[in-house]
Amino acid sequence: MTERRKLIAGNWKMNGLKTDGVALARAVAAQRAAAGPSAASAVDLLVCPPATLVWPVAEAVAGTGLAVGGQDCHPKVSGAHTGDISAAMLAEAGCTAVIVGHSERRQDHGEGDALIAAKAAAAHAAGLMAIICVGETETERDRGDAGTVVQRQLTGSIPPGATAANTVIAYEPVWAIGTGRTATATDVAEIHALIRADLVRRLATGNGVRILYGGSVKPANARDLMAVPDVDGALVGGASLKADEFWAIAMSCP
């Protein structure tokens, strides 16, 4: 069986100013250092601050083992794209990863699968790991379409050139994000198995691609969720804004 290191990623979304963000990242790095080398080497830790904070946060945690990522990037390298940020800009600022296709981008900015695939390809070209998000809405789940929707998103939003080294998939059911509702272990197992089967079918290294669960992950439910087969970590929103909670989730990994 392929060994997959667990990845606990914090998506800070549009929260915090510079002082808060730097302090939060330093606090996470301090927890990791205090836990000692064996705990620290057990999981990969990543924080994804708002774009303006990427640079100071990356500087603040340089050399601590805490990785920094962006929350979005433009598919193009440069050009007339007001308000956007390229993958190379994120890499220069100290990022090693970027989230693409988060449901809040899909909803708020009308992003579709082809654009998300292009963003992921741009991330790869800049040497970043792309965290590609998929997940059904409540209506789609109630209709019994969760699997079909996730399959369609996978087919459309994973670019050619994706490998276990440069790509992570995050399954985030939209109805579980920020709501306090989490998918049951059975639902998560079912969708993660579907994602794994798709990755194995399409990519030579599909068995090594990490699949994260996201949606109201908290210290209280992390242990159960992280024990589900094919759950290789978490993409954490609200609880990633508190260093203690984020660290407790990281320490819940089996």
Pick between residue 8 and residue 60 the one whose CB is nearest to ligand 13P.
8
* Backbone φ/ψ region at 38: left (φ over 0), alpha (ψ -120 to 50), beta: alpha
Given the residues 104, 111, 136, 172, select the one marked as catalytic.
Answer: 172
What SS3 state is found at 205?
coil
DSSP character string of 129-193: EEEEEE---HHHHHTT-HHHHHHHHHHHHSPTT--TTTEEEEE--GGGTTSS----HHHHHHHHH
> Which of the residues 177 through 196 are near ligand 13P (CB under 6 A)?
177-178
Q: 74 an active-site residue?
A: no
CB 135 within 8 A of CB 174: yes
Residue from 86, 153, 166, 216 in contact with ligand 13P (CB under 6 A):
216
Pick between residue 48 and residue 121 the one whose CB is nearest to ligand 13P.
48
Q: 172 an active-site residue?
A: yes
Residue from 16, 129, 237, 245 in contact with ligand 13P (CB under 6 A):
237
What SS3 state is found at 2?
coil
Neighbours of 109 (CB within 10 A): 10
Q: Is 233 in the site for ligand 13P (CB under 6 A)?
A: no
Considering only the stretches 60-68, 79-87, 157-165, 234-242, report the one whose residues sit in contact with ligand 13P under the rule CB under 6 A: 234-242
> Which of the residues 74 through 133 are near ligand 13P (CB under 6 A)?
102
Instruction: State the residues that interact with ligand 13P by CB under 6 A.
Output: 11, 102, 172, 177-178, 214-217, 235-239
Residues annotated as catalytic (active site), given as ranges: 102, 172
